[in-house]
Amino acid sequence: MKKSGFDKNRNNKGTNESQKDRNRNNNRFLITINFLGSSGPVRFVVNMKDLVSGVIESALKYYDREGRVPVMGFDASNFLLYPANAWCDDALNPLEPIGSYGARNFVLCKKKVCSTMTEPQSKLISQKSNGGWKAWLNKSFSFKVLSH
């Protein structure tokens, strides 16, 4: 009795290798990252065990490789990754795996840089505040009649 093609493939050692490949591919998934200020999202495949910091680095490299504007830079420590869904207000921990969150859509934002007031900046502010909007308003409403 002849074996069918299905039975031959079932007993073949190659199927064990393809099954391992399938299991390895099950750990990968497609994510979408929207860059704040950019025209559209970036999509690429990541491993579930990849750290959030590594995903941010990969996204920045992919973004730059496509030549998108505005230029974001390459330092992943200057960025925060948020899930796009409203269920979480906090940024993702850069040391945790991306697959632990169960999200597939993200938003990448630059960290806000808080600058302290230094002496030159405070002098600039005080110089700008001389007169203010009231002086400008009074100037613009003062009617001067020019004689011929």
Give the model's pLDDT for residue 148.
Answer: 57
CA neighbor of 28 nearest in space, from 46, 9, 49: 46
The values of phi and psi at residue 41, to 5°, are: -80, 165
Asked if residue 46 is part of any domain, the answer here is yes
Torsion sign, CA atoms 59, 62, 68, 70: positive
Region class of 133: left (phi > 0), else alpha (psi between -120 and 50), else beta: alpha
* Separation in Å, CA 78 to CA 53, 56, 72, 111, 139: 11, 10, 10, 6, 45
Residue 121 confidence class, pLDDT cut points 50, 70, 90:
very low
135 vs 40, residue with greater confidence: 40
- At residue 117, the pLDDT reads 44
Flag whether 138 is in a domain.
no
Q: Percent of the chain having pLDDT more than 90?
A: 34
**What's residue 40's pLDDT?**
87
Of 16 and 60, the structure prediction assigns the larger pLDDT to 60
According to DSSP, the β-strands at 42-47 and 79-83 are: unpaired
At residue 11, the pLDDT reads: 52
On the question of pLDDT at 9 being above 70, the answer is no
25-46 pLDDT, tens digit each = 579 999 999 988 888 899 999 9
Q: What is the pLDDT of residues 98-118, one digit of tens each?
A: 999 889 999 999 887 544 444
Q: Is 47 exposed, middle or buried (0-12, 13-18, 19+ CB in 10 A)?
A: middle
What is the domain-level CATH number for residue 15? Answer: 3.10.20.90
Quick check: helix, strand or coil at residue 32?
A: strand
Question: Model-level pTM?
Answer: 0.60
Mean pLDDT of the chain: 75
**Domain assignment of residue 79, yes or no:** yes
The percent helix, strand, coil of the chain (3-state, each to 5) is 40, 20, 40
Residues 6+ apart with CB under 8 A from 29: 45, 46, 48, 99, 104
Q: How many domains does the chain have?
A: 1
- Mean per-residue pLDDT, 5-11: 52
Residue range of the domain that includes 37 = 5-110
CA distance 66 to 42: 9
* Of 145 and 105, more confident: 105
Is 105 domain-assigned? yes
